[in-house]
Amino acid sequence: MATTFAPMLIIPNGLTDVSFYTKAFGAVELRRFNNDDGTIHVVEFDLDGSVFHLHEQWEIKLVSPEKARASTVSVNIFVDDVDAVVDRAVAAGAKVTSPVQDFDYGYRQADLIDIYGHCWQIQKKI
């Protein structure tokens, strides 16, 4: 079996709606595990064949960027149309921290922060 990378993004406790990822990136929800009160414990998404998870914060070792007041990782995705993906993400509530631009190292990219404080870099090799 090939090694795959499946990041787990930590979200605040008490959430019931994580449709941002579907609206912004076209991710497809594969499965969801709810707490007894209907809030999200874990959601698994597929993003064009790559899997990532959302998991409610666990104060002992995993906290959301909101709780930490920072993010320690950037989730970088390669897409066909950087501008279109960034536009969809902004329409879904993301904030651009570096606008779409071409860089001399051969990438077109932009940086944004999603509605839960996670950093994303949207990019394409040019």
Q: Identity (one letter) of the amino acid at 41? A: H
Given a contact cutoff of 8 angstroms between Cβ atoms, the answer to whether 116 and 9 are in contact is yes
Q: What is the pLDDT of residues 8-19, one digit of tens each?
A: 999 999 999 999
Predicted confidence band at 85 (pLDDT cuts at 50, 70, 90)?
very high
Q: Identity (one letter) of the amino acid at 60? A: I
CA dihedral 35, 48, 27, 46 (to 10 degrees): 0
Enter the pTM of the model: 0.89
Question: Domain for residue 3, yes or no?
Answer: no
Question: Domain for residue 1, yes or no?
Answer: no
CATH number at residue 108: 3.10.180.10
Asked if pLDDT for residue 66 goes beyond 90, the answer is: no
Question: Domain for residue 102, yes or no?
Answer: yes
Phi, psi angle pair for 8, to nearest 5° = -115, 115
Question: Domain for residue 2, yes or no?
Answer: no
The Cα–Cα gap between 85 and 75 comes to 14
Query: What is the domain count for the chain?
Result: 1
According to the model, what pLDDT value does residue 46 have?
97
According to the model, what pLDDT value does residue 122 have?
97
* Dihedral sign computed on CA atoms, order 48, 72, 115, 107: negative
According to the model, what pLDDT value does residue 105 have?
96
> What is the span of the domain harbouring residue 48?
8-125
